[in-house]
Amino acid sequence: MKLDQTFTHFLLEHQLQHQRTLNFLVLMDGIRVAAKHIQHYYNIAALSDNLGETDRINVQGEQVMALDDIAHDIVVHYLRESQQVIEAISEEAPEPIRMNEDGRYFVYFDPLDGSSNVKHNLPVGFLFGIAKRNPDGEDEDCSLRCGRDFIAAGMFLIPAGVFTFALRDGGAWRFLKDEFGEFVRPTRIFLPEAKKTWELSCNAGYMNTFSPAVQGWLGHYMGRYKFRYAGSLVVDFHRLLDNGGIFAYPPIVNHQDPSNNRPEGKLRLMYESAVVAFIAKEAGGLAVNQYGEEILDVVPQKPHQRSALFVGNQELVRSIQSDLRGHFHDIPRAVNG
Ligand code: AHM
Ligand code: MG
């Protein structure tokens, strides 16, 4: 009989090895249980008529899906129950959510990434990043932290139930879901260096709306690597971790209807771009924004700040980084909500 190591035991070992408290284990237990509940509601969404939209528009100006709301409520509930969180920032809540004044952690999350996939029964995900409160620092109560301050980040692929988890300076790991619903069998993951599996991932339908520098770069690499795009960051990034290459969500600066331009890109810094940037770093990769700055260094000014994203193998990201830096002034700087 072969019994696999569970996620909780993996984390326990890590915490003990580094003389850390067990509070983080309690927090991660809440996140793990929340993911299982989201998975359950995803599985029954079609039968319970929860595949559609609500009549609510979120802070990003996007229509909220029924499952977005359900997933948000689940995560908030289990974060509160853990009693470890001082404040949480969710894609689905306009303001940061205050939880326990004695909590040790800040949690940033997108409870259901890739919502447009839901009505087609296609895969989605749950992304989260965690920073630690610094009780002795001046900014102990400020949740606007850059990705380099994260102590961990992760994503659950739903419904496959694969869990990717990265610890600061502790590597990126993948866990599979066993027949009892437990996340087991930690396997360290690295972005593959061998170019034969590398892929390029972006919304090619927007190609003409990207800046000349981005179009030029993408045009140069388009034919070299296979092209894949699922329309859900968790799904596309999961695939990227397996195969290597680059995922790009560039700024939209040249839309034929200028009101649809997104000079800061579409993805949100704290619970999307910084989360995958953190995981990518632990897997040997790199992530930069529209100015060629490392995403992990960008200190958010607002909870729902957007950021363009170029993430993947260092060689490719460094190459777009130098092209972006050469065209720094193509993209206006603005902080949006
Ligand atoms: P969501 O958090 O509302 O689901 O939106 C984020 C998603 C990402 O998962 C994905 O990479 C991107 O939006 C796809 O956008 P587009 O349809 O513009 O290509
Ligand atoms: Mg999202």
- Give the ligand at the shortest distance from the Cα of 275: 2
pLDDT in tens, 180-223: 999 999 999 999 999 999 999 999 999 999 999 999 999 988 88
Ligand 2 centre to CA of 272 (Å) is 6
What lies within 8 Å, CB to CB, of 4 at 6+ separation is 178, 184, 185
Q: List the strands of the sheet with 85-90, edge to edge.
A: 97-98, 85-90, 105-113, 124-132, 150-158, 162-167, 171-177, 183-189
Residues of the chain with CATH 3.30.540.10: 7-189
Distance (Å) from CA 117 to ligand 2 centroid: 11
- CATH 3.40.190.80 residue ranges of the chain are 195-330
| Number of Cβ atoms within 10 Å of the Cβ of 33 | 16
Cα-Cα end-to-end distance for the chain: 53
pTM: 0.93
User: Over 50: is that where the pLDDT of 69 sits?
Assistant: yes
| CA pair distance 181, 228, nearest whole angstrom | 29
Average pLDDT of the segment spanning 118-132: 92
275 vs 260: which has the higher pLDDT: 275
Q: Which CATH number applies to 195-330?
A: 3.40.190.80
Using a pLDDT cut of 70, give the percent of the chain over it: 93
Check pLDDT > 60 for residue 79: yes
- Ion ligand 2 — residues with CB < 5 Å: 110, 113
- Which atom of ligand 1 lies at the shortest distance from residue 116's CA? 4
Architecture of domain 7-189: 2-Layer Sandwich (3.30)
Question: Could you tell which of 42, 57, 69, 267 is best to mutate to test the pocket of ligand 1, judged by most ligand atoms within 8 Å of the CB?
Answer: 267
Residue 65 has pLDDT above 80, yes or no: no
